Amino acid sequence: MRTPEQILGPYFPMQIEPTASGDLTKLDGGSEPAQGEIVQIGGRIRNLEGEPVCSAKILIWQANCFGRYSHPNDLTQAPLDPNFHGFAEIASDSSGAYRFRTIKPGAYPAIAGWMRAPHVHFEVIGQFERLITQMYFPDDPFNASDRFLMSARQPDLLIAQPVPSESNSSCRELRFDIVLARG
């Protein structure tokens, strides 16, 4: 099935350039790492026929580990992390694979009585279409009450899968495959 659409969100990055390295854990030219749990996220972008979508442009944006975006309209009381702006642009390779490093974003209040589950926003621009979606973290306690996740036709398609580590990696690895209709 095609990966479900999700909202663009109110905090699409403004006034900052996306990181091109695929490593959101440190700013270009910065010496201090971002605060929070480091995660490696990767997967494949394919069409409904299972064919890889190569050279897809992927924009990624997210809140910091405290649940705050580097955006002028995010007025929550959560602190900003001066070493994290949470915005990157990468591309899929010839097999449709992509990979990036980031930190697990924090949950944040959306409206009274509702906390958004930690999530990463994706905008995927393939050869024939554009998909805006969100990736959620496995076993997060806020997933079951996240209105956007629960309103998706198949919410399980939006939850990343843990990747068993074969090395002594210091970070958790997750797999999030994305399916476009035509690619």
Active-site choice (68, 85, 101, 116): 116
Residue type, 79: P
* Known catalytic membership, residue 98: no
Active-site choice (11, 69, 98, 136): 69
Q: What is the CA radius of gyration of the chain?
A: 16
Do 52 and 46 contact (CB within 8 A), yes or no? yes
* Number of neighbouring beta carbons within 10 Å of residue 123: 16
Active-site choice (11, 98, 108, 136): 108
- 67: tokens are 């649940």
Active-site choice (68, 98, 119, 136): 119
Active-site choice (44, 46, 71, 121): 121
| Secondary element (H or E) of residue 102 | strand 97-103
Phi-psi region of 94 (alpha: psi -120 to 50; beta: other; left: phi over 0): alpha
CA atoms of 85 and 92, how far apart (whole Å): 22
* Known catalytic membership, residue 69: yes
**Helices of type H across 1-115:** none
* Known catalytic membership, residue 108: yes
Which amino acids are annotated catalytic? Answer: 69, 108, 116, 119, 121
